[in-house]
Structure 1
């Protein structure tokens, strides 16, 4: 029986093709912050919704929920500040009493608002822009044992031009921001980018999907 003989690599002197394929510098691992373009990406949903969304009522023509109606506008950008068109954006926030429209929220002192939709999705337009109308959420007691109150915030989940990004928008001038452990995880120099700014009667909040200026990634916190 013929035995398999291990093949040896032959070194060819002055082989120009091999020389051009050989790295001229030592190889280095890809930094964690730069790996996301090589990660598996879930496919976007087959959904062609508009770039605007109204969570302040459960359907057009129905009564508006209790509380202050606010408009949030912004743009989804990549690491080079280019707009991310047709990104799927999911948004949810609690109502003006501090309760989510979710079966798992059993807040005993916060009632549900039957007119508040509380969650939804949209697609950014060709310039990566979105517009959202909702009720300004209330702060709420997240953990009574340590007296942890969450500040008003809106959750965002974005799919487009990279892996899913989950982040939260905070409100300007809110005292609870500086007492919230989730907000304080963000490096001090980056915290202003997590807070919306007032602009012409609306709140503006832009989101960067990845790169060194990426909006702070957060797990699905309350």
Structure 2
């Protein structure tokens, strides 16, 4: 993921990417999860790190509100590893068996743990990642919908259109038009189904970042 895409995720407080990268603010020396709801920093004051240890080594301390250093369940590290794999390999044709082989556990065990942590299955989570990638391509490029369908990892246009509409409440072409008019964020991204649930739950605390 590039800087602009990661910036979009922290502005949206996107929980999908929690644990996959960390936002560090140079002026406060604090680092956070992408989903942190503290006041957003200025773009020029932001640095991104792939691992929290890198942020800490650079002199940043953990945000007290989103607590990015905390592992709140015994399976958090495993689920974070699986979500990182799904984001990284979203273009591949991945079955539950493929995903569980990567995780080193049985398909049944993985699906049970993943649902316990995220309230969804690995396959529905992967579908959300693909729709998210497609939405970004619709916003930022002039590529055709069919091209975007396959680039995002979908194997058929019918599945792409069905999933996109279900998760954003509009078709790809509607999304692109509204995005060009500055309306896509308000109309489509606000759809409840498009907001992924937390991989690791966050507790309220008393810190904010400038």
Q: What interval of TM-score do these two structures reach, taking the shorter chain for normalisation?
A: under 0.3
Q: Give the TM-score of the pair, scaled to structure 1.
A: 0.24
Greater C-alpha Rg? 1
Q: Which one has a larger percent strand, Structure 1 or Structure 2? A: 1
Q: What TM-score do the two structures reach when normalised by structure 2?
A: 0.25
